[in-house]
Amino acid sequence: MDDILLHHGRNLTGNSASPAHPKGDATVYFVRTELMQILNIYGRLVAAGEWRDYAIDHMKGQAVFSVFRRASEIPHYRVVKEPALANMQGAWRIVGANGQILKRGKEPKALLRYFDRHLLKAVP
């Protein structure tokens, strides 16, 4: 079996596995705390009328949370977790609709502060 399937930090064989640092060829997943942080920001921006839909992809080497303004569009933002890059530039990055990397980070909580500027409203 090439992929290690993780469930609450354990692989299917019962041995401990670290979901934060899998092998480069293993499928990467968001752990519950990471996903809750992302969904918290997502919910706030849906309530603000900025975002409407999302998709989650788990692939070999990376996990991607894509955000859409409309379901028929390309992703407006992608939050990418790629543990293989953790020691170089951080395992996390935010990618814009045009493919440009907007922010990199080692922890999702700090990285997701990027979206706080979307929540600020001008007060007359």
Whether residue 53 is contained in a domain is answered as: yes
Query: What b/e sequence results for 61-77 when a residue is b if at least 16 CB atoms lie within 10 Å of its CB, and e otherwise?
Result: bbbbbbbbbeeeeebbb
pLDDT, average across residues 47-55: 90
Give the three-class secondary structure for 92. strand
How many domains does the chain fold into?
1
Whether residue 64 is contained in a domain is answered as: yes
Can you point out the beta strands (E) in the chain? 6-7, 10-11, 53-59, 62-68, 77-81, 92-96, 101-105
Q: What is the pLDDT of residue 86?
A: 87
Whether residue 42 is contained in a domain is answered as: yes
pLDDT digits (tens, 9 = 90+) for 25-38: 688 999 999 999 99
Whether residue 1 is contained in a domain is answered as: no
pLDDT digits (tens, 9 = 90+) for 61-103: 999 999 998 767 789 999 999 998 888 888 999 999 999 999 9
Domain of residue 114 covers: 23-119
* 8 Å CB contact between 9 and 31: yes
